[in-house]
């Protein structure tokens, strides 16, 4: 599969959270609450790509108030927490949005991402993904999950679509 060719057709980007949007670590506060660390460059990349017309979804195995807050902050309207079987939800997102799966990208890092990655037009992985996931990916970031990998993936898609330069010009105008 030619990743650049597939990227030209992407209209929907589906993200895993732990290990993709975060570094995969679970941080606990003194009350036992889970905290997550998100990369601000990934967040700006999502907002930038949404401005360019890409739609986003998050399907994650864990249910966390921190993730729900981040998803809301980024304006992502398709959010499915606590889901280890992700493929049915990916199909539902495709159906609800009217975007065919061949026009979707999925960014994953672990075995729970294998099934949805096999359904999309552009399966993508973060640099530190499990070896089996790296083999499924048509494109792999140089950045690790939670360290700008999503931003890198989005810039790859936007560059393939010829949209990155115009977005850059928008951000650099005084």
Q: Which residues are annotated as a binding site?
A: 16, 18, 109
Phi and psi torsions of 123, nearest 5°: -80, 130
Can you say which residues are annotated as belonging to the binding site for substrate? 18
- Which tokens sit at 91? 């199909």
Distance CA 96, CA 30 (A): 40
Can you say which residues are annotated as belonging to the binding site for Mg(2+)? 16, 109
Q: How far is CA 93 from the centre of its chain?
A: 14
Which of 21, 42, 3 is CA-nearest to residue 152? 42
């Amino acid at each position: 599969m030619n990743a650049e060719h597939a990227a030209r057709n992407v209209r929907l980007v589906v993200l895993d959270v732990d290990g993709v949007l975060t570094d995969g670590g679970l941080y606990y506060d003194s009350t036992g609450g889970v905290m997550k660390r998100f990369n601000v460059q990934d967040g700006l990349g999502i907002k930038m790509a949404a401005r360019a017309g890409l739609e986003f979804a998050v399907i994650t195995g864990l249910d966390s108030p921190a993730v729900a807050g981040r998803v809301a902050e980024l304006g992502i309207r398709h959010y499915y927490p606590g889901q280890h079987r992700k493929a049915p939800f990916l199909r539902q997102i495709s159906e609800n949005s009217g975007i065919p799966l061949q026009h979707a990208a999925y960014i994953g890092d672990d075995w729970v991402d294998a099934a949805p990655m096999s359904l999309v037009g552009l399966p993508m992985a973060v640099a530190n993904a499990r070896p089996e996931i790296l083999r499924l990916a048509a494109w792999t970031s140089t950045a690790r999950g939670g360290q700008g990998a999503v931003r890198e993936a989005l810039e790859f898609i936007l560059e393939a679509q010829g949209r990155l330069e115009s977005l850059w010009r928008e951000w650099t105008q005084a």
